[in-house]
Chains A and B, each alone.
Chain A
């Protein structure tokens, strides 16, 4: 039985998948529609409707493949992009369905075949292709933002109401104080005294600019735990945003440049501070699997990637000397807990801090609504999720909400503020860094950090 698309009373031939990045049939068929994924899915929790569940979306993908649903049917576009790609469903799937690559391929299909108005294409091209395509450009823009905050221009602008007019108020509310200086690969490095091990830090686009100080904190903590840290020159944005948006070509270009940049450092661990980047970097092997020159190199690169919490929790952590007497709660970034299955490690690190009280919040692994740029394009659903998350965080009475991803940090900041909380949002490594003594941290045995 086929569902034909009604178009002015005529039956059209249904467009299936074509071109590159077709959702893989074997991956699709692995889903036996048992429904165990449903409660893990944030959009299903909010809507209670089947099409907004992972199972429903997979069924839609299957229906397109089977010629029962048109690729360009509005429901397909709506559902492929309503998905936060948080991958919570993957973690609970009894059949081990790889949902992420499937939804990304489906989006790629839409990008390839869906007619978009010129201005949309232009904006997407400008933002995703031009701005994120070259880290230098982003650094320049963030520098401007810093100037905007620094000069108190922000207050003046807020008074004018122009932000409301441009519907950028929320965007501004999310933005934390921008780091004074961007972290530029090659310009800063950290040494550890024993000098045996070395670690390559993946800088990222937003992390290396807006959150540059978080990256520095991570580097200090890693160095304090006995590994020299540097940032290979030539590295770019990880391409996660592009993959999530179905812009696979752009993503592959960035992936190749990153692989090139890190290849010189052999098998040294590549440490990442952003969960979203880590998840994407760990999937380079899959992203480039059809590229004869890069398939193996991608897989090798992916095998080196560690989230910073994962890396630190692997060994015995040097006990942080300072007590931090504070109550915190931990919000699990989707791309850490679901995509990378890293859940106990950040908690292990937090427990290593003397004086710290960790109170678990309800639904700590439910998406906060950030999901890359989701909160910018699907504000209503993102706000609902953000409010839910803020309520759970406020319930714990924590004065700090700890997370491990820049998108989450920004979304949490805005959501907490909107719900009347003054709790700070920080990265796990920032808290650890504080317990080690902050910027004055000395490496484990003698030594000193060099700029």
Chain B
């Protein structure tokens, strides 16, 4: 069966969630929401034949991510691919449609005392497919890794009209190239993930978050280092500045009987006033703290992620503080995952010609770190540079990879690194 994309436009209204009117200023002519993997493949094959450009969309929580698309004809929503395909609690594996929202998936898992140990910013609303495509992660990756470490299998629809699978439903598998990990973070430019299989883990039996205010960034980083080299093995460890005040947050997980003691130890390693949140409150604290890291452009907000080796985080924060003064940038929010080496800024640019000021800021940041990604910014400001940073030296291999999977550039043309 070969479907006409136009026929499906009407189906969109029945889908919950809002579909974007435009992506970075480009308005698609068509919306589709296929109900099966095969339909997704057919839509893609059809688009390939007609030379149309397709943007896959999940919950639309990270649409600001990426370069403005070269072309945009069709938005493909995965919203109807949201069922739990297979869940074997005793095997700790889950297979779920790409359109399922992480929050819903976590609810299903929690009924069996399990979870996906990830906490991407505003992740509960995001879809599984979107999280795989964007590869965005939160503070818990310090101990638990990212979604890619849990991804054990995928089914993917290609512009060739085929649906392929890779990996499987077992937690250990070296049958063939590790395609699931390659799709992770590829911004849907190689194919559209229609379903994914994950290794899931038992929920921690208890958790606690200890927070403390810090008089300076130096004090905050020093405290973080003390915690990191302690026996506590934190689940997350961040230094942050919100509303101009520095603070530190550490998340501890373990058995009911031990977490309290660990929290006391953490307090002893911190200086000054501390606060402890436990259970749901602890998780909620992190949701609140990371919300500003989402790749969502609110007004003229710019969200930037800078990655360095963990040992360089302190130095980077110091440099950022100086840069803030020199460049007259108003950094409203800074969140740094210390052991990971990732710093996310949400900022505003003062004065005239913000587009060129953003370009200049980005250049300045690239002198401080190799990896600088503009996660979100007003569309017009993003046109002057590659939001993903400098193209890697392997860009030709990546182009060739793109060519193998999507030779006529149907999927998100121009949006990914190197404007692939």
Q: Do chains A and B touch in the complex (CB under 8 A)?
A: no
Interface residues in chain B, defined as those with a beta carbon under 8 Å from any beta carbon in chain A: none
